[in-house]
Amino acid sequence: MNILFFELEGWERPYLEKRLPAGHAVDYYNHKVTGADAQKLAGCDILSTFIFSQVNAEILRLAPALKLVATRSTGYDHIDCAAAKKNGIQVSNVPEYGSNTVAEHTFALLLALSRRVIPAYTRTRAGAFDTSGLRGFDLRGKLLGVVGTGNIGLHVIRMATSFGMRVIAYDPFPRKSLADILNFEYVPFDALISESDVITLHCPATEENQHMVRAESIAKMKRGVVLINTSRGALVNTHDLLVALENKHVAAAGLDVLEGEHYIKEDVQLLKDANRAQLLAAIETHKLLARENVIVTPHNAFNSEEAVQRIVTTTVENINTFIATGKSANPVA
Ligand code: NAD
């Protein structure tokens, strides 16, 4: 097999070299895969990327021998799974590597906002020790709305209740027995967004739920609500969130993911590829980054020592199982 890894960090290569079976041609690259990799893709059987590579129909077309895309992530919305299926290409992901890790980051964002950690830090670094303007709010007693009660959402709920928060949740596939054990209540989406003091998103991005947070849904939210998104940027309409932050309907936002974040990483790519709507979205995202009541982290919620180790371990399992049996472990399409 000809196996290509993209978006690798330095430490991953020796780890992979030790664990992949001998007798296969394996190439390791740090950059994300693009059309410029056409030559490399031409003979590729197995392609492994992280989330910043857009594995779209064009990339799949450039890899006529491709049999497996093994993404080193849970989310797979950067892969055109329909095109993969049409071409008989399997797609595997890493379903569980750090649900607690992302949940902990959710609270890192929420606590940074609730206790005004960033302005407090910036000020004290500059030598100012007064507390004016730094008053925060307690989490205890607040109502948290959790959208998506999968692996990450459930860890968030567990952590929230230990802070003394009350929790409601929405999920099209509720797990009612867990609601009793973890002490939360399932409600319809509209009830969740209208009642919650803090809303946190933990569902995958699909065509159906694109912009689930937009002007219409924000209008139903409590004035002063706090929004946390560690899930996917496409769930939130950037323009509508900006307007709501400006008019203070949304008091603050903690965002680990942004619409079009792969463009934000690389301005050159943006100018080359993006259409007018994507350019406008990128400008609005830059406006978000500059706001004082917004904290943005660069899709970093997964990034703990323990979690990244588990990602590579599962990816090796996915690839080795595919090589041995022709079927990947953890298939998503
Ligand atoms: P999961 O599959 O365990 O759970 C997702 C849950 O969302 C499921 O219970 C599903 O029924 C529910 N759901 C689906 N559509 C929904 C909708 N429209 N409204 C409400 N709920 C809906 O996934 P997970 O491991 O908990 O991960 C959740 C998301 O977090 C992933 O899809 C991924 O996009 C994101 N994620 C982000 C990072 C990061 O670094 N920021 C890391 C890992 C995962």
What integer pLDDT is reported at residue 125 of this predicted model?
A: 96
317 is catalytic: no
By the 10 Å C-beta count (0-12 exposed, 13-18 middle, 19+ buried), 157 is classed as: buried
Structure tokens at 130: 């007064």
What 3-state class would DSSP assign to 278?
Answer: helix
Q: CATH classification of 2-97+305-325, choosing from 3.40.50.720, 3.50.30.60, 3.50.50.60, 3.30.360.10?
A: 3.40.50.720
- Cβ neighbours of residue 51 closer than 8 Å, sequence gap 6 or more: 71, 73, 75, 78, 299
Q: Are 25 and 17 in contact (CB under 8 A)?
A: no
72 is catalytic: no
pLDDT at residue 278 greater than cutoff 90:
no
Minimal CA–CA distance to 194: which of 276, 152, 249, 155? 249
| Farthest CA pair distance, the chain | 65
What integer pLDDT is reported at residue 274 of this predicted model?
A: 72
pLDDT in tens, 192-202: 999 999 999 99
Atom of ligand 1 nearest to the CA of 96: 25
- What average pLDDT does the structure give for the chain? 94
What integer pLDDT is reported at residue 109 of this predicted model?
A: 98
Spatial separation of the C-alpha atoms in residues 281 and 270, rounded to whole Å: 11
Pocket of ligand 1 (CB under 6 A): 74-75, 99, 102, 147-153, 170-173, 202-204, 209, 230-232, 256-257, 299, 301-302
pLDDT in tens, 34-48: 999 999 999 999 999
Res. 266 pLDDT band, cuts 50 70 90: low
Spatial separation of the C-alpha atoms in residues 153 and 284, rounded to whole Å: 28
Average pLDDT of the segment spanning 146-175: 98
- Cβ neighbours of residue 208 closer than 8 Å, sequence gap 6 or more: none
191 alpha carbon to ligand 1 midpoint, in Å?
Answer: 20
Average pLDDT of the segment spanning 282-303: 92
Mutate to test the pocket of ligand 1, among 152, 192, 229 (most ligand atoms within 8 A of CB): 152
Res. 269 pLDDT band, cuts 50 70 90: low
125 is catalytic: no
What 3-state class would DSSP assign to 166?
Answer: strand
What integer pLDDT is reported at residue 270 of this predicted model?
A: 66
What integer pLDDT is reported at residue 282 of this predicted model?
A: 80
Identified catalytic residue from 78, 116, 211, 232 = 232
For the chain, domain boundaries: 2-97+305-325, 99-296
- Cβ neighbours of residue 114 closer than 8 Å, sequence gap 6 or more: 136, 137, 138, 139, 226
Structure tokens at 311: 């990602």
Beta strands in the chain (DSSP E): 2-5, 25-28, 46-48, 68-70, 90-92, 143-147, 166-170, 185-186, 198-201, 225-229, 250-255, 294-296
Q: CATH classification of 99-296, choosing from 3.90.1150.10, 2.40.30.10, 3.20.20.70, 3.40.50.720?
A: 3.40.50.720
